[in-house]
Amino acid sequence: MTKNSIQARRRLAFKLASVFLGLVITLLVLELLVRFLTDVKPPLLLLDNEVGRSYAANFDDEIYVAESDRMVRFRTHRDGFRGADVPYQKEKHTYRIAVIGDSQIAAIATLEKDTLVRQLERMLRENHPQVNWEVLNFGISTSSTAQELVLYRKLVRNYDPDLVICSYYIGNDFSDNDSALGSYLRIYMDLDDQGQLYVKPRPAFRWVSSRWLNRYSRLYVWQKGSFAGMTRKAMQTEPLYKVRSGRLIFLDQDRPDLLHAWQLNEALIHQFHKEVTEDKREFLFVVVPSNSQIYQNQWDNFVERATNERQFLDVDFPDRKLGEILDKRNIERIFFREGLRSTEEGQPSAKPEARISYYQGSGHMNEDGNRIAASMVYERLVENGSIEAVKETIGAPLHE
């Protein structure tokens, strides 16, 4: 190797090192600026190696939630889910209900006492005090049925629930269950050649790096939220608009990707039911409607924009399809749409702020939406005899 070539390599190495150092300094400066000039905080929602995602454990503080435009006390227990610590082992005369779902169940925008979970527990305790009713919240933002099945296997079983309520949100669970329709970082399952479910390998580098950056970099958290917001706005513009993600569930169309997604969703629901009932526990499947199924003007706006797929859109298709899936295993179910929609139809105003079930007519169920849903669950437990059966088997004698 000649002297000139050695010098050329040294100059190249120096330039690369200078560029790298400059990049590091730039990122550090931006990190400091974000920390001092914004209110970005470490995210409460964390990647978890066992259950996919959880909230920061043992958190208890007031947080501002833009959706409900207020401060909400948000507390989590030792396992990183909303609520106070509960011992794994149940006390005498205790009937425990585990509610598993996504952000509709976590209900971060709603005060804890007004969530579906707490309102259901309050109804049971006030009306049937012979039993120590416990309703536990295992809702987690960005969750899916596949991730919830893993959550049941890895964690919820430890709490020995008597009844497991699995919540399915029409707004996004269909696509969230299929990695081909959504690329969010979560646990995914798929079907092998024999039609059996298996957990897909997670992208190790992306998983580890995202977990570390979320914990230590405010810049990463800030840019991720900003980029996501800009992407959503861009996708709503006319040139880029199409039916995608959660709204694919409304397409009554024999497309290969949709057929596979429905097969996968069916397998997940059936497997969830199978594992819970084999554990000698009761299983209830509840369906939270998309706001487009509640508010006619939102559905009309959606259909108007979906010019290429308009002929295949059907607002009732998800309910019919899920009903067929549940009928195959005779799975008990509640569709919250009926109760929420009948309440909304009684409202005189079409303005979003007058709607009582969802915050501003979109997004998540508010206090009243949670109350209606909790009442529907409570009424079902009364109607099917579950409450009376519990009182007879584990209820405390009245003289105790």
Query: For position 183, which CATH number holds?
Result: 3.40.50.1110
Is residue 55 in a domain?
A: yes
Residues of the chain falling short of pLDDT 70:
1, 3-4, 228-242, 343-356, 397-400
Q: What's the pLDDT at 154? A: 97
Is residue 241 in a domain?
A: yes
In the numeric block, the tokens 């057929």 are attached to: 259
In the numeric block, the tokens 């919540």 are attached to: 167
Q: What's the pLDDT at 356? A: 60
CA distances from 168 to 282, 328, 357 (A): 17, 17, 17
In which domain, by residue range, is 238 found?
46-393
Is residue 10 in a domain?
A: no
User: Which of 206, 215, 310 minimizes the C-alpha distance to 253?
Assistant: 310
Is residue 21 in a domain?
A: no
Q: How many CB atoms lie under 10 A from the CB of residue 210? A: 15
* Three-state DSSP state, 2: coil
Q: What's the pLDDT at 359? A: 86
Is residue 184 in a domain?
A: yes
Q: What's the pLDDT at 147? A: 96
Q: What Rg, from alpha-carbon coordinates, does the chain have?
A: 24
Is residue 216 in a domain?
A: yes
Per DSSP bridges, beta strands 132-139 and 197-199 are: unpaired
Is residue 326 in a domain?
A: yes
Q: What's the pLDDT at 237? A: 65
pTM equals 0.91
Q: Encode pLDDT of 350-381 as tens digits.
A: 444 445 678 877 789 999 999 999 999 999 99
Is residue 27 in a domain?
A: no
Q: Encode pLDDT of 308-318 as tens digits.
A: 899 999 999 99
Domain count, the chain: 1
